[in-house]
């Protein structure tokens, strides 16, 4: 076949083509993150990898701090090994976070974490190691980081801002306690519910309410503080509808639907909890106690009465603000808030405990930290409507759909509102300060910081100083990563954890006492004595500090020296059954409770001053039946360290 002749080649075309640019690793990374819009899958890989790098604990780590009560002593979690099957899977909704029924609860109603732990226990991951219970948190945190990427991209349509927000959230060092600590799964799952609720706002109007209800319930059944989504979802709908639905914002309709959906989920959650987990209402919340209060106060108390929060522990050692008047409690809470904000930006010191007297009641109402905390709580509510109205006006005038001001406005309010339920301001909590409380606010701070850093990078690029902007970002993010990884190493085992804690918060009596217990468990009684002495000096009225010091001396075969500390501790905590049983048993083992022993007379005299107390009962019972039980009746003896519940629990 005759082929047609091609036209002569153009002289330029006859020149050899320039070589294709060599593909480098940096080019590939840039294309991955900035070459196309992020998806959940593409976001999940780097965020999970970063989370694993920063927060993974050793597979040989044991259960630390609250993890022992939450898992090892949790009858619901451990019930999978019970052949009688007395506790069923759905009983998680009828028990508290620690697996206890309503009549024995110490607060914290969080069914979903318990179900997850029981599932892991079922497949064989039990008391031998905290892995993979802690590793699950790490993976879920990475997933939450990917959700942040998706959320910020839908709001900003800017790939760099979205990726930076997700990365900064994952690397926020103050969340280490929530991610590396097994108990933090409540915060991580609760945060997931909140993020999914915010993402649900970008769905079609017909689908949005159902997704909102499901996400809100996921958050609430994971952790109570997820109730922040009830006011925040409508606010997000109002501020961001123009960004997520530029063709048909319907901001007021979406705001109303979000209000109804999250409100419905919240009412369902409370009403079901009241039925499945009925608890006694404290007398101080009764209507009779507030008959003469102002109407606003009566309405607030009525809301708390309906909410029916399970009774929380009342321990001034964990939260000294419990004993403060309302103004001083708020001043102390504002100081704690200011310090937490500082840890978001500069996590120089991170700790797993802040017990008394590390965070005492302030001696005055106005001081720098309380002023900073108050300003940081109030200013976002001033800035938010200004930025929101400005964005609305610009959208009407210029049809802009990528304004960042409503995103900044929402993120600033998000930080305050998501922290408020755990701030000790509206209600008093068992804990004065905990870094896991900052898991929710860290989402808002990551969004604001990503917008600030992207603006800085682009401003530096215009001036030909991009390297300076990159250096600032690397320095900030690098410091966060180093602080997170360093604190995650504190979770290597219980001894390392409490050693790091006592150094980070040297005025925490609990940190020194728990470190002493860890030393004693490893046979270092001299070290236990030294650290226990520090704890007693910091908290001289703490029964446990006195009893444990007496117990240390007793185990060193110096029971006579320990006896005064025992008596003092028993008297301070005359109804602390486990503490009293612990001391009496050691005295018995050291043969200090014979018929003619001086210790016996001293204990009897002290116990007689507390009729009707555990002190009186255990002393009388042990003196009468000690020969039969070889000391204290075994059913009253405390559970050993790192052990599960006893058979009769």
pLDDT digits (tens, 9 = 90+) for 21-69: 566 667 888 888 888 999 999 999 999 999 999 999 988 888 998 898 8
Residue 6 has pLDDT above 60, yes or no: no
**58-70: per-residue pLDDT in tens?**
888 889 988 988 9
Locate tokens 């900073």: which residue? 372
Asked if the model's pLDDT at residue 80 lies above 80, the reply is no
The answer to whether residue 469 scores a pLDDT higher than 70 is: yes
Q: What span, in angstroms and rounded, lies between the C-alpha atoms of 512 and 536?
A: 9
Does the pLDDT at position 11 exceed 70?
no
Q: What is the average pLDDT score of the chain?
A: 90
Buried b (16+ CB within 10 A) or exposed e, 449-464: bbbebbeebeebeeee
* Residue from 10, 432, 361, 436 nearest 186 by CA: 436
Lowest mean pLDDT among 159-163, 374-378, 401-405: 401-405
More confidently predicted of 93 and 301 = 93
d(CA 481, CA 524): 34
Instruction: State the angle between helix axes of 25-34 and 159-171 in degrees (0 to 180), rounded to the nearest 10.
Output: 100
Residue whose C-alpha is closest to residue 307's, from 227, 217, 250: 227
Helix (H, G, I), strand (E, B) or coil at 594: coil
What is the structure's pLDDT at 300?
A: 83
84-109 b/e (C-beta count within 10 Å ≥ 16 → b): eeebeeebbbbbbbbbbebeebebbb
**pLDDT computed for residue 401 by the predictor:** 55
Tokens of 534: 């520090």
- Short-list 233, 236, 225, 312, CA closest to 269: 225
Strand, helix or coil at 4?
A: coil
- The tokens describing 230, both together, are 């009830």
Q: How far is CA 449 from CA 141, 335, 443, 445, in A?
A: 19, 23, 10, 6
pLDDT of residue 4: 41
Q: What is the pLDDT of residues 308-355, one digit of tens each?
A: 877 778 889 999 999 999 999 999 999 999 999 999 999 999 999 999
CA separation for the pair 363, 354 (Å, rounded): 18
Annotate 241-263 with DSSP letters as a single string: HHHH-SS---HHHHHHHHHHHHH
Find out whether 215 and 193 touch, Cβ atoms under 8 Å: yes
Give the sign of the dihedral formed by CA 170, CA 172, CA 173, CA 177: negative
Q: What is the pLDDT of residues 280-304, one digit of tens each?
A: 887 777 777 777 888 888 888 888 8
Structure tokens at 450: 């990503």
pTM for this predicted structure = 0.90
What is 525-564 written as a DSSP string? Answer: HHHHHHHHHHHHHH-TT-HHHHHHHHHHHHHTT-HHHHHH
pLDDT of residue 512: 97
Neighbour count for residue 277 (Cβ, 10 Å): 18
* pLDDT at residue 257, rounded to an integer: 97
Paired tokens of 29: 């990374």
pLDDT of residue 505: 96
Q: How far apart are CA 343 and CA 162, in angstroms?
A: 23
Please list the alpha-helical segments (H only) found in 203-250.
208-220, 229-244
Q: Do residues 270 and 109 touch, judged by C-beta distance below 8 A?
A: no
Note if the bond before 132 is cis, omega within 30 degrees.
Answer: yes
């Amino acid at each position: 076949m005759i082929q047609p002749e091609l036209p002569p080649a153009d002289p330029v075309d006859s020149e050899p083509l320039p070589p294709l640019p060599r593909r480098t690793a940096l080019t590939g990374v840039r294309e991955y993150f900035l070459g196309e819009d992020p998806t959940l899958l593409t976001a999940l890989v780097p965020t999970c990898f970063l989370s694993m790098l920063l927060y993974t604990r050793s597979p040989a780590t044991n259960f630390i701090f609250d993890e022992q009560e939450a898992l090892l002593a949790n009858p619901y979690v451990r019930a999978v090994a019970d052949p009688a099957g007395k506790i069923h899977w759905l009983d998680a909704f009828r028990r508290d976070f620690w697996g206890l029924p309503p009549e024995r609860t110490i607060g914290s109603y969080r069914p979903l974490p318990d179900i997850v732990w029981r599932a892991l226990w079922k497949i064989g991951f039990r008391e031998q190691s905290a892995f993979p219970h802690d590793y699950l948190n790490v993976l879920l945190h990475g997933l939450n980081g990917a959700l942040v990427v998706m959320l910020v991209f839908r709001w900003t349509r800017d790939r760099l801002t979205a990726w930076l927000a997700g990365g900064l959230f994952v690397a926020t060092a103050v969340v280490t306690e929530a991610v590396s600590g097994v108990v933090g799964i409540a915060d991580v799952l609760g945060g997931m519910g909140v993020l999914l609720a915010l993402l649900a706002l970008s769905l079609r109007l017909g689908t949005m309410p159902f997704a909102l209800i499901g996400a809100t319930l996921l958050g609430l059944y994971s952790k109570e503080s997820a109730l922040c989504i009830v006011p925040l979802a409508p606010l997000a709908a109002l501020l961001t509808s123009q960004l997520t639905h530029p063709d048909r914002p319907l901001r007021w309709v979406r705001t109303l639907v979000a209000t109804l959906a999250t409100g419905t989920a919240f009412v369902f959650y409370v009403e079901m909890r009241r039925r499945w987990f009925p608890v006694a209402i404290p007398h101080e919340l009764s209507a009779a106690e507030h008959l003469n209060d102002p109407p606003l106060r009566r309405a607030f108390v009525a809301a708390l009465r309906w909410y029916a929060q399970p009774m929380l522990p009342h321990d001034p050692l964990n939260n000294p603000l419990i004993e403060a008047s309302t103004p001083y409690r708020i001043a102390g809470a504002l100081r704690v808030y200011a310090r937490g904000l500082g840890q978001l930006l500069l996590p120089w010191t991170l700790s797993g405990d802040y017990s008394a007297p590390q965070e005492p009641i302030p001696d005055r109402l106005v001081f720098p930290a309380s002023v900073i905390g108050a300003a940081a709580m109030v200013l976002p509510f001033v800035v938010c409507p200004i930025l929101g109205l400005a964005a609305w006006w610009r959208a009407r005038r210029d049809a802009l759909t990528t304004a960042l001001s409503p995103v900044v406005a929402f993120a600033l309010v998000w930080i305050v509102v998501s922290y408020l339920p755990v701030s000790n301001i509206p209600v008093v909590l068992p804990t004065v300060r905990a870094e896991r409380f900052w898991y929710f606010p860290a989402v808002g701070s990551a969004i604001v910081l990503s917008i600030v850093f992207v603006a800085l990078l682009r401003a530096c690029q215009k001036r030909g100083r991009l390297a300076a902007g990159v250096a600032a970002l690397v320095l900030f993010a690098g410091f966060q990563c180093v602080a997170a990884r360093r604190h995650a190493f504190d979770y290597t085992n219980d001894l390392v954890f409490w050693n790091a804690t006592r150094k980070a918060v040297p005025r925490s009596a609990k940190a020194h006492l728990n470190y002493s217990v860890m030393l004693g468990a490893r046979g270092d009684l001299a070290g236990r004595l030294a650290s226990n002495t520090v704890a007693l000096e910091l908290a001289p009225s703490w029964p446990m500090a006195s009893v444990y010091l007496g117990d240390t001396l007793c185990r060193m075969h110096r029971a006579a020296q320990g006896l005064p500390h025992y008596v003092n501790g028993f008297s301070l905590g005359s109804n602390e059954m486990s503490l009293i049983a612990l001391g009496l048993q050691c005295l018995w083992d050291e043969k200090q409770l014979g018929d003619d022993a001086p210790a016996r007379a001293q204990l009897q005299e002290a116990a007689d001053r507390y009729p009707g107390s555990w002190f009186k009962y255990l002393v009388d019972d042990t003196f009468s039946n000690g020969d039969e039980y070889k000391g204290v009746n075994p059913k009253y003896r405390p559970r050993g360290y790192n052990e599960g519940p006893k058979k009769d629990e």
